[in-house]
Structure 1
Amino acid sequence: MTKILILGAHGATAQIVIDRLLAETDVTLALYLRNAARLNRYAGNSRVTLIDGDAQDVAALTAAMADVDIVYSNLGGVDLAQSTKAVLTAMSAADVTRLIFYSALGALHEVPGKFGQWNEQAIAAFLPGFRESDRLIKAQAGINATQIRPAWLTDAPEVDYELTSATEPFKGTEVSRQSVADFIVHLIQNPAQYAHTSVGLNKPNTDGDKPRWM
């Protein structure tokens, strides 16, 4: 049976992924987060293990990766690069090779025009971490990563998205968390897809100088 380790499991998108995996698949889940009691609603599920841990604790991460087939990182923050380095070190130690990594638009300097300029300013504190994480992932031999670069996230109850490759200009300004979760769930079910690549996700026909609610 496939086992998935979800890092930063309290994140909004991660929780959508968790619920869908439990409802639609037979995978088992290890949910790794600070203050694991926040996800106590899963404590009685025989397919779920809750792990209280720090994302930069290599020993704890390595232990959490025992028998894991896929690591899905939903980590963030201005110190993301340090967390990514710890995750990659732990994956090598635990001999886990498949990584799904939640990145951000702009991580590859791929967002064109006025929206790209606005995005650079809006998430200026976080982009260095995403960009350094991209460098670290690409430099880590033996890691098969799919990096996901979603547009600005909404809570719209919809699954409606298109993809752009790492070499294409980013499209659109927004995408729903439900859409990002849908891509992740399908990727977990078909892990041979989108190997060693970075994928942009956006809702079609949402181009503009900034997200519509800004």
Structure 2
Amino acid sequence: MTKVLILGANGATAKIVIDRLLNETADDLTLYLRNAKRLSQYENNDRVTIIDGDATDVNAMTAAMTDIDIIYSNLGGTALATYTKALIAAMTAAKVSRLIFYSALGALHEVPGKFGEWNEQAIGAYLPGFRESDRILNDHNEINTTQIRPAWLTNQDEIAYETTEANEPFKGTEVSRQSVADFIVKLIKAPALYPNDSIGLNKPNTDGDQPAWM
């Protein structure tokens, strides 16, 4: 049995991961988010602990990490680098070393061509936080981090994806949340996969200048 802490647990992808872990594993889950009432559907599950907390509160996050084996960070927003610094401080204090980190395409300047140019404009306000977070995580190799860089997310009920490495150009323009959740669940089930790595995720054969549904 693995003890998993999910930060930003009310996110759409995080909730898919939560349900899959509860259905497919015996893992115990600690769900950390602002306004814990948003996950009240899990209150009576004896494998779930829900914590109402702020991602900048190092002491609260450190306490939440007690006896935790693996952390999945679903945090985001323009303040992501601030959250990442607090996360690293808490993990260091709690002596937790395995992290799955939800990043974004473009975090490594890896998206080529016109789609890369479009992506820079579309999420330009957020990319500095992802890029600074990448630098912070790479400065802390004592924490084994797998960063995930998904393409633009869809709500398609499908699992269909391929991966690219950090040193490869990004492929495709979109991927389903179900696919991203599937990759995260695989990492939680087999945490030795992709150590200290950054992995791009996309649906095959979705290349273009922007997502087809835009």
* Bin of the TM-score, shorter chain as denominator length: over 0.9
- Alignment RMSD (CA, Å): 0.4
Residue 82 of structure 1 aligns to which amino acid in structure 2?
A: T
Structure 1 equivalent of residue 169 of structure 2: 169
In 2, distance between residues paired with 1:164 and 1:184? 15
Structure 2 equivalent of residue 89 of structure 1: 89
- Give runs of ≥4 in structure 1 deviating > 6 Å: none
Aligned length: 214
* Aligned ranges 1:10-21 → 2 under 5 Å: 10-21=10-21
Instruction: Give ranges in structure 2 of 5+ residues lacking alignment.
Output: none
**1:80 pairs with 2:71:** no
In 2, distance between residues paired with 1:138 and 1:106? 16
Instruction: Give ranges in structure 1 of 5+ residues lacking alignment.
Output: none
Residue 130 of structure 1 aligns to which amino acid in structure 2?
A: F
In 2, distance between residues paired with 1:162 and 1:124? 25
User: What fraction of aligned residue pairs are identical, expressed as a percent?
Assistant: 72
Give CA deviations for 1:102-138 in whole Å, capped at 9, x if unaligned: 0000000000000000000000000000000000001
* Secondary structure in 2 matching 1:61: helix
**What's the TM-score once normalised by structure 2's chain length?**
0.99
In 2, distance between residues paired with 1:213 and 1:191? 34
Residue 203 of structure 2 aligns to which amino acid in structure 1?
A: K
**What's the TM-score once normalised by structure 1's chain length?**
0.99
Structure 2 equivalent of residue 28 of structure 1: 28
In 1, distance between residues paired with 2:4 and 2:129? 24
Give CA deviations for 1:125-168 in whole Å, capped at 9, x if unaligned: 00000000000001014100000000000000000000000000
- 1:213, distance to aligned residue in structure 2 (A): 1.3
**1:112 pairs with 2:116:** no
**1:203 pairs with 2:197:** no
* Secondary structure in 1 matching 2:192: coil
Structure 1 equivalent of residue 45 of structure 2: 45
In 2, distance between residues paired with 1:96 and 1:142? 10
* Secondary structure in 2 matching 1:158: coil
Give CA deviations for 1:58-115 in whole Å, capped at 9, x if unaligned: 0000000000000100000000000000000000000000000000000000000000
In 1, distance between residues paired with 2:181 and 2:207? 21
Contact 2:141–2:196, Cα closer than 8 Å, also in 1: no
* Secondary structure in 1 matching 2:88: helix
In 2, distance between residues paired with 1:133 and 1:24? 31
Structure 2 equivalent of residue 127 of structure 1: 127
In 2, distance between residues paired with 1:159 and 1:72? 20
Structure 2 equivalent of residue 178 of structure 1: 178
In 2, distance between residues paired with 1:141 and 1:18? 27
Structure 1 equivalent of residue 153 of structure 2: 153
In 2, distance between residues paired with 1:175 and 1:35? 28
- 1:174, distance to aligned residue in structure 2 (A): 0.1
In 1, distance between residues paired with 2:115 and 2:203? 15
